[in-house]
Amino acid sequence: MPRTVTLDAESERLIESLMRDGRYASAEEAVRDALRALEAEEAMLEGLDVEAIRRSIEENRRDGALLTEEEVFGPLEAKYRAVPERAGE
């Protein structure tokens, strides 16, 4: 059965922008596509065992198997600081 919904201003702007860019021909089409994406995300989340993920993270923390932010990003930042900037960029 058809339903009428009221969108907030931000959602309205997004839909208008998507229509203006030619991604969707109508607001209904954009909302249908968004609902399909939400349905797919919900189906994916249903298959996750959140408690098992939490237990695994906690075990890795206890075992010291997780890296700190500095351990991950420090070497990357140093690497990219050492790369000379390209002229004109």
- pLDDT tens, residue by residue, 37-77: 999 999 888 878 888 888 888 888 888 777 788 888 888 88
Residues 39 and 63 in one domain: no
C-alpha neighbours within 13 Å on the C-beta side of residue 45: 6
> Is the full-model pTM beyond 0.85?
no
Mark residue 49 as left, alpha or beta (left: phi above 0; alpha: psi -120 to 50; beta: remaining): beta
Identity (one letter) of the amino acid at 31?
V
Q: Is residue 33 part of a domain?
A: yes
- Whole-Å CA distances, 1 to 4, 10, 57: 10, 26, 45
Residues 21 and 54 in one domain: no
pLDDT at 87 exceeding the cut of 60: no
- pLDDT range class, residue 86, cuts 50, 70, 90: low
Residues 61 and 77 in one domain: yes
Token match 């959140």: residue? 50
Cβ atoms of 32 and 41 within 8 Å: the answer is: no
Count of the separate structural domains present in the chain = 2
Round the average pLDDT of the chain to a whole number and report it.
88
Percent above pLDDT 70 for the chain: 94
Residues 66 and 40 in one domain: no
Domain that holds residue 23: 7-48
